[in-house]
Amino acid sequence: MSTKRSLLLLPGDGIGPEVMRQVRRVIDWYARKRGIEFQVEEGLVGGCSYDAHGTPLTDETMARALAVDAVLLAAVGGPKWDNLGFDKRPEAGLLRLRKEMELFANLRPAKVFDALVDASTLKPDVVRGLDIMIVRELTGGIYFGEPRGISDLPNGERRGINTQVYDTHEIHRVARVAFELARKRSNKVCSSEKGNVMESGLLWRQEVIALHKAEYQDVELSHMLADAAAMQLVRNPKQFDVIVTDNLFGDILSDEASMLTGSIGMLPSASLGATDADGKRKALYEPVHGSAPDIAGRDLANPIAMFLSFAMALRWSFDLQAEADILEQAVENVLSTGLRTGDIMQPGMARVSTSVMADSILREMDKLATA
Ligand code: IPM
Ligand code: MG
């Protein structure tokens, strides 16, 4: 039996390939410098897969994603594919991966590096030291609910329908992830929904309360309507530790949270499935940012969200905590020397390209590894 760790890399579209190219160098670094080897394969997802195969994700790539220890995905989408039907759009490839791998828990940490306190559009005091974790439900809700579609009405109008739906087990399993995480952090969970107007939100709240009562009474639990949470996230984000919420609100709140950290180019994410009998769980790691077609191919993108996503893979899929520390520390150190990609550029700092940022982080990893 091979113990080699397996990874499937899905660079995708836009800036995806250029940030993935840099993370490949990080993966090679671990083999070269730390003797930690990964068996790496690459595949297509998104618009590039549509161009090559007429579908945003082939069955073959889907099967490979199910077989490896972890998938790293960079970004999908772009204007070129905007007019395709929903099942052919680049995003459909990503949604199929999430659904078929059953990645119901999406962890989106928003951490403010000291060096970037001034890069946020919020006042330094509001964001300094911020460290929150958004746990987003990822395989249910309005993203996947039926019925859905656009239909023609007899009166000549058209109707668009989506369905927000959650069952008890879907709420419990993601809330459980949030409670477990909170126990390792500041032991606080804020659950967010719109239970004042949506039955699915009311059920969400009731089921989170029931689970809390049955198994997690030691964790401090609060509830906040999603609109209020959006407001509180910019007013006083440090009141939060772990936020657990549904698929759609999680999508929105995590984009908002990213700007607390200075740039969406900084935020990693881990999408996790259930733990099986061998203690393994399916996992996909991807930056929160998109494919940024406006800057694609010009060596301008920030590779840090992709690097930090790989660090999350080291932690969650391979239990290599000290190795993940090296990568995260290297990112932090390089930022404190004043290097910045365009998205986090500040007066007095040195603006660098994607590849120079990566070079610098790799050099810093060398230093940390020999220290
Ligand atoms: C995200 C993205 C995706 C989502 C898109 C690309 C389908 O915005 O991961 O946050 O809406 O989930
Ligand atoms: Mg999003």
pLDDT tens digits along 77-97: 999 999 999 999 999 999 999
Q: Which of the residues 51, 167, 218, 227 is marked catalytic? A: 227
Give the tokens for residue 82: 């905007």
What's the pTM?
0.95
Strand 158-161 relative to strand 149-152: parallel, antiparallel, unpaired? antiparallel
The beta-strand segments (E) located in the chain are: 5-12, 38-42, 70-75, 105-111, 131-137, 149-152, 158-161, 188-193, 220-225, 242-245, 270-275, 281-285, 339-340, 350-351
Does ligand 1 lie within 6 Å of residue 256's CB atom?
no
Quote the pLDDT of residue 371.
81
Provide the pLDDT confidence category of residue 139 given band limits of 50, 70 and 90.
Answer: very high
Quote the pLDDT of residue 263.
87
Nearest ligand 1 atom to the CA of 98 is: 12
Arithmetic mean of pLDDT, 307-313:
98
Percent of the chain with pLDDT over 90: 96
Q: How far is the CA of 252 from the centre of ligand 2 (A)?
A: 6
The residue written with tokens 């001034």 in the block is 118
Closest residue by Cα to residue 71 from 33, 41, 34: 41
Stretch (H or E) spanning 207: helix 199-215
**Among this protein's residues, is 59 annotated catalytic?**
no
Asked whether the predicted pLDDT for residue 2 surpasses 90, the reply is no
Q: pLDDT tens for residues 271-303?
A: 999 999 988 999 999 999 999 999 999 999 999
Does 303 sit behind a cis peptide bond, omega within 30 degrees of 0 on the bond before it? no
Report how many helices (DSSP H) and strands (DSSP E) the chain contains, helices first.
12, 14
In whole numbers, what is the pLDDT of the chain averaged over residues?
A: 96
Q: Give the type of residue at 215.
A: E
Provide the pLDDT confidence category of residue 3 given band limits of 50, 70 and 90.
Answer: low
Arithmetic mean of pLDDT, 314-318:
97
Buried b or exposed e, range 30-39, using 16+ CB within 10 angstroms = beeeeeeebe
Does ligand 1 lie within 6 Å of residue 94's CB atom?
yes
Residue closest by Cα to atom 11 of ligand 1: 251
CA 193 from chain center: how many Å? 20
Query: What secondary structure letter does DSSP report for 288?
Result: S
Q: pLDDT tens for residues 184-198?
A: 999 999 999 999 999
Ligand closest to CA 287: 1
Residue closest by Cα to atom 9 of ligand 1: 288
Closest residue by Cα to residue 288 from 251, 313, 334, 262: 251
Quote the pLDDT of residue 310.
98
Quote the pLDDT of residue 1.
44
Q: CB–CB of 268/215 below 8 Å?
A: no
Query: What secondary structure letter does DSSP report for 128?
Result: T
**Among this protein's residues, is 213 annotated catalytic?**
no
The angle subtended at Cα 233 by Cα 229 and Cα 236, nearest 5°, is 115
Name residues with Cβ closer than 5 Å to ligand 2, which is an ion.
251
Q: CB–CB of 43/52 below 8 Å?
A: no
Give the tokens for residue 117: 């306190």
Quote the pLDDT of residue 135.
98
* CB-based contacts of 323-326 (< 8 A; 24+ apart in sequence): 323/30, 323/34, 323/36, 326/365, 326/368, 326/369
Provide the greatest CA pair distance for the chain.
Answer: 73
Q: pLDDT tens for residues 210-262?
A: 999 999 999 999 999 999 999 999 999 999 999 999 999 999 999 999 989 98
Q: How far is the CA of 82 from the centre of ligand 1 (A)?
A: 15
Q: What does the alpha-carbon distance between residue 121 and residue 181 come to, in Å, rounded to a whole number?
A: 28
Q: How far is the CA of 97 from the centre of ligand 1 (A)?
A: 12
Q: How far is the CA of 127 from the centre of ligand 2 (A)?
A: 21
Q: Which of 91, 99, 286 to mutate to test the pocket of ligand 1 (most atoms within 8 A of CB)?
A: 91
Q: Which of the residues 251, 282, 285, 343 is marked catalytic? A: 251
Q: Which of the residues 50, 111, 166, 194 is marked catalytic? A: 194
Percentages (nearest 5) of helix, strand, coil residues in the chain: 50, 20, 35
Residue closest by Cα to atom 6 of ligand 1: 91
CB contact set of 13 (below 8 Å; sequence gap of 6+): 46, 47, 48, 75, 76, 77, 78, 90, 291, 293, 296
Q: How far is the CA of 218 from the centre of ligand 2 (A)?
A: 32
Closest residue by Cα to residue 134 from 189, 80, 83, 214: 189
Provide the 3-class DSSP secondary structure of residue 273.
strand
Residue closest by Cα to atom 4 of ligand 1: 251
